[in-house]
Amino acid sequence: MSPGLRDEYDVAVIGAGPAGLAAASLCARAKLSTVLFDEQAAPGGQIYRGITQSPLADRSILGADYWAGEKIAREFFASGVQYVPRATVWSVTAEREIGVSTGGGSRLLQAKHVIIATGALERPFPIPGWTLPGVMTAGAAQTLLKSSGIVPDGRTVLAGSGPLLWLLAWQLLNAGATLDAILDTTSRESRARARTHLPSFLISPYLLKGLKLLRSVRKRVRVVSDVTQLEAKGDARVQSVAYATAAQGAPVGMPVDNLLLHQGVVPNVNLALSIGIEHRWDEEQLCFVPVLSPSGATSVPGIYIAGDGGGIAGAQAAAWRGVMSASDIVRAVNPEAARRAAKAARTTLEHFARGRKFLDAYYRPAPQFRVPAGDTLACRCEEVTARQVIETVALGCPGPNQMKSFLRCGMGPCQGRLCGLTVTELIARERGVSPQEVGYYRLRPPVKPITVAELAELPKDDAAVKAVVRI
């Protein structure tokens, strides 16, 4: 258990990605007692993963956008914030009592304000065979590269859609990896629908960078466009990927050793939902997103969500969204500093908001890659198939929480992180209603598995003991 933790803080920040680092820095500089809990051993979150300890000496491998994270990390360490790495926050109550596990022991503490900066995770990509060893997310391969310099070896195929897929391809090529193919699942429908957002994309900060990246990758890797079907095949591990395209209906097989999947990122909602923070289905981003004020204030007083956990807007925006939330809190002690910070944040956020709608529409994942069929696993933990979910809806099971009782989907250790959206969308389609109406798994603390021993060892006051001990 981390020594030196206080019982009370002005501000507790959860997550050390750009949003959390920027938010904590601003609060600590304003002399608010600020603690930041993060699950990883070093700061950076996923986008700046390994920023203080990456073994990659050649900076051109990951690119300038990655190394921009250094400045954020440096400011964070200089700010006077209490940084607690390798800490798992497993509970936050609406009264802002925080349950945190560090070094195998847990404790509770109280915060006047909480900023949740738990970011995003990759959207589930439930294709046949996606649980086979040798299949992993593009983000996972990127983490291996950033934090350990490790690159895929053997026949490697990237499949899916979205900016991160191309960025990873570019970074892996820079690091000397060989990529056999990119199977691009971006659909014709999505590309056509994105056209209405083209004008704002043309003046956005993403256009030039994106085109340069795409060109550079396309020169060096075979790209198969309009992929409409994907299947990972193999016995004990993936041996081939079969794909079909819009132009050519019959599936084609390609031998692989590594299959890297990606179709965008979605907010990591588990902690926020467990607090009871209001969320809505976002039909553009196809995920549940918390209902937030411009500064990231949630429906629960004193609790903010900053960064991609509040809806996907990207890494650069995330840091400024952290500033927005922090300035709202800092206002009470230093109104001038808060005003200045918020003003700078608003201007920059407008800049980075330009073109996002185009990206959302263009890379909108096709329905067949979000809503699986047949024996494809929807829930990886409890190994529940799409067919089982569909048949259970037919029995009259109306939502994901009832589905848990029938099939145990969402009840494994990942607590629905890898199946929540899939199961909601499956049920919604079968019932012919919107995902908003179907809703999401009801989440409860602990939002990360901890042992019963850890819970039992929590310090208890007299009232708590009296409540359960018979005399």
Partner 1 sequence: MFRRPREDARALVRFTFDGAPLEAREGDSVAAALLAAGVTACRTTPVSGAPRTPYCMMGVCFDCLVVVDGVGNRQACLVPVRDGMAVESQRGKRELGA
Among 84, 414, 421, 427, binds partner 1 (CB under 8 A): 414
Is the Cβ of residue 140 or residue 349 nearer to partner 1 in the bound state? 140
Structure-token pair, residue 239: 């041996």
Closest CA relative to residue 138, chosen from 154, 121, 155: 121
Q: Is 150 in the site for partner 1 (CB under 8 A)?
A: yes
Site string for partner 1, 258-297 (x = CB under 8 A): x---------x-----------------------------
3-class state of residue 219 by DSSP: helix
Rounded to whole angstroms, the Cα distance separating 153 from 133 reads 14
Between 132 and 337, CB nearer to partner 1? 132
| Residue from 8, 59, 148, 192 in contact with partner 1 (CB under 8 A) | 148
- Using DSSP's 3-state secondary structure scheme, residue 243 falls into strand
Which of residues 70, 75, 231, 383 is near partner 1 by CB under 8 A? 383
Question: Which positions from 123 to 142 touch partner 1 by CB under 8 A, shown as an x/- string?
Answer: --------x-xxxxx-xxx-
Least Å distance, CB 140 to partner 1, is 4
Q: Which of 56, 159, 329, 378 binds partner 1 (CB under 8 A)?
A: 56
What's the min distance (Å) between Cβ of 270 and partner 1?
A: 9
Tell which positions 245-264 bind partner 1, by CB under 8 A: 257-258
**Interface stretch with partner 1, choices 165-173, 288-296, 408-416, 422-430 (CB under 8 A):** 408-416
Indicate which single residue of 2, 39, 198, 337 sits in contact with partner 1 (rule: CB under 8 A): 39
Q: Using the Cα atoms of residue 93, residue 13, residue 412 and residue 284 in order, give the sign of their dihedral.
A: positive
Burial (0-12, 13-18, 19+ Cβ within 10 Å), 225: middle
Q: Which stretch binds partner 1 (CB under 8 A): 51-59, 95-103, 357-365, 426-434?
A: 51-59
The Cα-based distances of 197 to 5, 46, 194, 203, 317 in angstroms read 48, 28, 6, 11, 19
Closest residue by Cα to residue 289 from 181, 111, 435: 435
Other C-beta atoms within 10 Å of 249: how many? 9
Residue entry with tokens 């976002």: 282
As to burial, measured by CB atoms within 10 angstroms (0-12 exposed, 13-18 middle, 19+ buried), residue 114 is buried
* CA proximity to 46, closest of 86, 20, 17, 71: 17
Question: Residue ranges of the alpha helices (H) in 184-314?
Answer: 188-194, 198-202, 207-220, 270-275
Does 175 engage in binding with partner 1 (CB under 8 A)? yes
Nearer to partner 1 by Cβ, of 39 and 70: the residue is 39
CB burial readout 168-177, b (16+ within 10 A) else e: bbbbbbbbeb
Cβ contact 277:299 at 8 Å: yes
Secondary element (H or E) of residue 265: strand 265-267
Shortest CB 58 distance to partner 1, Å: 9
| Chosen residue from 95, 153, 283, 350 binding partner 1 by CB under 8 A | 153
Tell whether residue 46 is a contact of partner 1 (CB under 8 A): yes
Q: Between 134 and 290, whose beta carbon lies closer to partner 1?
A: 134
> Which of 6, 8, 31, 53 is the binder for partner 1 (CB under 8 A)?
53
CB-wise, 50 or 160, nearer to partner 1?
50
Element (H, E) at 462: helix 462-468
Rule CB under 8 A: say whether 236 interacts with partner 1.
Answer: yes
Decide whether 47 or 371 has the Cβ nearer to partner 1: 47
Place of tokens 């409540």: 467
Residue 449 touching partner 1 (CB under 8 A)? yes
Min dist. Cβ of residue 77 to partner 1 (A): 18
Q: Which is nearer to partner 1, 104 or 301 (CB)?
A: 104
340-373 burial, b if ≥16 CB within 10 A, otherwise e? Answer: ebbeebbebbeebebbbbbbbbbbbbbeebbbbe
412: contact with partner 1 by CB under 8 A:
yes
The residue (of 52 and 200) whose beta carbon lies closer to partner 1 is 52
| Site for partner 1, rule CB under 8 A | 39-41, 46, 50, 53, 55-57, 86, 121-122, 131, 133-137, 139-141, 143-144, 147-154, 175, 236-237, 257-258, 268, 380-383, 412-414, 417-418, 449
